[in-house]
Amino acid sequence: MATPATSPPSHTVSTISINPLLLNTVNVSPLPLLALLYSKPKNARVKRALDEREPKLVENEKTCIFVSGNKTSERIRDAMKDMNSMKRPYAINFSKKNDIHPFDDASSLEFFSGKNDASLFVTGLHSKKRPHDLVLTRMFDGRVLDQIELGIDSYRSMAEVDTPKASVGTRPLMVFHSDLFDTHPTFTHLKSYLLDFYNGHHETAIPLASVEHVISVTAGPVEGSLEEGAALPKVHVRVYTIKLLASGSKVPRVQLTEMGPSMDLTIRRVAEADSETMKAAMKRPRISQKDLDSGLGKKRKNIETDDMGDKVGRIHVGKQDLSKLQSRKMKSLKIGRKERKAAEADADADAAGNDSGMDED
């Protein structure tokens, strides 16, 4: 299943009213005046930042923003902290509380999405009616695409599990245990969000050494028929670290150790996307064969971007002969005439000895 692409607007345009009579009087075309409304980049770094926000054939990694409501519980704060650590470096945490209710008014989320170029949101709330509430939101084109509300029934944080943790930025393996994740629309929606949240870009092959942890998502047993309005089974999320051991063959033996967090979730409310918006989000552009051959959509080897936004490349060269390296001419490093003549005499003597040895043979 294709994941929705994110295309937030690269800049904001303010609208003003222009009197056409005034334009005719001073004989000025409206195009230059309208062009002044668009913000121009001040330097190359700002231009690169604006270009990064424009729609692309292959979208960037999806950034998630963690937002806390006016009232949260300790369980919610621990859950958002652990989810943030597993999502880094593509995660932004808002430390201040916000008067926000995503299912009632999502204008704040849309504003945050445009300002931070983010397409995923995790909102933590807590109330008497909906305790330990976690709202997962996806954006498309700067607007809310769909939402799902989860209740955390039980939680065990990463700090409570004294075991090794996965490295920052590593992608986890994801396993879904139940046919409901492929048949039931609500569970399919949850599966799609979790894949968007953790997996990032699709990879055709990965080295075994880079696989450090796995996320297991299991739907509880189904009691009766899942008709409309019936209670849905709980969702159990567990995270384990992976250790590869020798097995006597090419395939290593895998040992799983609980890493945390572990949580039991209850699905409460779901706001699905309308068909037209979802169709636009699922649409994929056609990529020409020329672009595919040039490496579009693939990570270019030995090319990366530093913290300042500059592109840095690594070049591999062959072994160099440092004896022929032109260095600074200093008297202390200069070879004297006597030493040079002695070295030449030794070389001539060695050559003469080799010649005489060959004649005797």
pLDDT at residue 236 greater than cutoff 90: yes
pLDDT at residue 30 greater than cutoff 50: no
CB 61 within 8 A of CB 200: yes
In the chain, the largest separation of any two C-alpha atoms, in whole Å, equals 111
Average pLDDT over residues 131-140: 94
In DSSP terms, which residues pair with 20 in a beta bridge? none
Pick the CATH number of 20-223+230-282 from 3.40.47.10, 3.40.50.2030, 3.40.50.10480, 3.40.50.2000: 3.40.50.10480
pLDDT at residue 353 greater than cutoff 70: no
Angle value at C-alpha 213, between 207 and 217, nearest 5 degrees:
120
C-alpha–C-alpha distance, residues 91 and 208, integer Å: 25
Whole-number pLDDT of residue 350? 76
Angle value at C-alpha 148, between 187 and 52, nearest 5 degrees:
105
Contacts of 180 (CB under 8 A, 6+ apart): 187, 219, 222, 226, 233
Whole-number pLDDT of residue 188? 93
Which has more pLDDT, 52 or 305? 52
pLDDT at residue 129 greater than cutoff 90: yes
pLDDT at residue 64 greater than cutoff 90: yes
**pLDDT-derived band at 285, boundaries 50, 70, 90:** confident
Closest CA to 151 of 267, 269, 271, 272: 267
- pTM equals 0.66
Which has more pLDDT, 185 or 351? 185
Whole-number pLDDT of residue 292? 57
pLDDT at residue 340 greater than cutoff 50: yes
Whole-number pLDDT of residue 1? 44
Whole-number pLDDT of residue 269? 93
Whole-number pLDDT of residue 290? 62
| Average model confidence (pLDDT) across the chain | 80
Whole-number pLDDT of residue 53? 77
**pLDDT-derived band at 18, boundaries 50, 70, 90:** very low
pLDDT at residue 59 greater than cutoff 80: no
Average pLDDT over residues 187-211: 84
- Which range has highest mean pLDDT (16-20, 153-157, 313-317)? 153-157
CB 103 within 8 A of CB 147: yes
Whole-number pLDDT of residue 21? 42
Q: For 153-190, give the DSSP string.
A: EEEE-STTS-S--PPTTPPPEEEEESTHHHH-HHHHHH
Percent of the chain residues topping a pLDDT of 90: 39
